[in-house]
Amino acid sequence: MVSSILNKAFENAKKVPFSKDAKIIFFSDLHKGDNSYADDFRNNMRIYEHALGTYYDQGFTYIELGDGIELWENSSFKPIFESYKSIFDLLEKFHRQKRLFLLWGNHDMEFRDPIMVEKILHKFFTPKNILDKEAFFDLKYYESLLLEFENTKGSIFAFHGHQADYMNYKHWKINRFFVRYFWKYMQKWFGIKDPTSPAKNYKGLVKVERKLNQWIVNNKQQMIICGHTHRPRFPDPGDIPLFNDGSCVHPSSVIGIEIEGFSISLVRWHHHSDHTSGTEIKKTILEGPVPLDKYL
């Protein structure tokens, strides 16, 4: 079951060519909510905005690997948009420069439906003129991408990761119901975290990773970058090339994967304070950089 879902995502992946000097940043699992108590992203908002703004200035392409928006806990997009207007403005800037790829995950699987995406765009982004309209209203949500680098045989298969998580793929509406009407309040009132999410359920997480590893072994060691489990992964060269970009809802830090100079690294953005400069937001490299051709 899972392998056929993954095969389909692989076959239908949008092929995106990149040059070897491309700069790419992957983030996922922001779960941007309505800025209320149950909104996990709220505390990391400033760190994330600073990180993404820095990548924009440095000419990076942004690939968001799903669960960017928390539509399970929130049945309406409006409060999310209003809470995070500055981030949506930043996304708009990336998109205008054709440096943005948005993928859907299980918490924003509604974006599978292009009509829904268009409706939201028309409601919240007002084009200034017809040219502007054409430039902006071609925003698409993808299930999966295949990143192809010039003069390289190998490629990177990028997707959210819930494709290896049968309950979250096939029965996402049932799970969404429990999150929206039950777990949200458990979290709010009693501080109990939703056990149906693989991020909070260790057994589920291991199962998802095992299925993805199996798929890689059966598919000529195809390199994967995904999210979903909220557990960062950065294998050594020679190991099964399954990478995970972590999440943006780690306690006071945002974790992502960078590709720059044809090398890959795992990075963490966080607050840093010292005596002279006070508190600032800073990037720490957790793993790498490792040349990509060691995995491709």
**Binding stretches for Mn ion (CB under 5 A):** 67, 105-106, 162, 228
The smaller minimum CB distance to Mn ion, of residues 31 and 95, is found at 31
Instruction: Name the minimum Å distance from CB 224 to Mn ion.
Output: 15
Residue 34: CB partners within 8 Å, gap ≥ 6?
Answer: 73, 74, 79, 80, 83
Instruction: Name the minimum Å distance from CB 230 to Mn ion.
Output: 8
The smaller minimum CB distance to Mn ion, of residues 34 and 165, is found at 165
d(CA 267, CA 289): 10
The smaller minimum CB distance to Mn ion, of residues 22 and 226, is found at 226
Beta-sheet pairing, 24-27 with 253-260: antiparallel
Instruction: Name the minimum Å distance from CB 53 to Mn ion.
Output: 25
Instruction: Name the minimum Å distance from CB 106 to Mn ion.
Output: 5
Instruction: Name the minimum Å distance from CB 277 to Mn ion.
Output: 36
Helices (H) and strands (E) in the chain, counts: 10, 12
The smaller minimum CB distance to Mn ion, of residues 48 and 125, is found at 48
The smaller minimum CB distance to Mn ion, of residues 67 and 258, is found at 67
SS (H, E, C) 220-264: CCCEEEECCCCCCECCCCCCCCEEECCCCCECCEEEEEEEECCEE
The label of the residue with tokens 């700069």 reads: 23
- DSSP labels, 160-182: -SGGG-HHHHHSHHHHHHHIIII
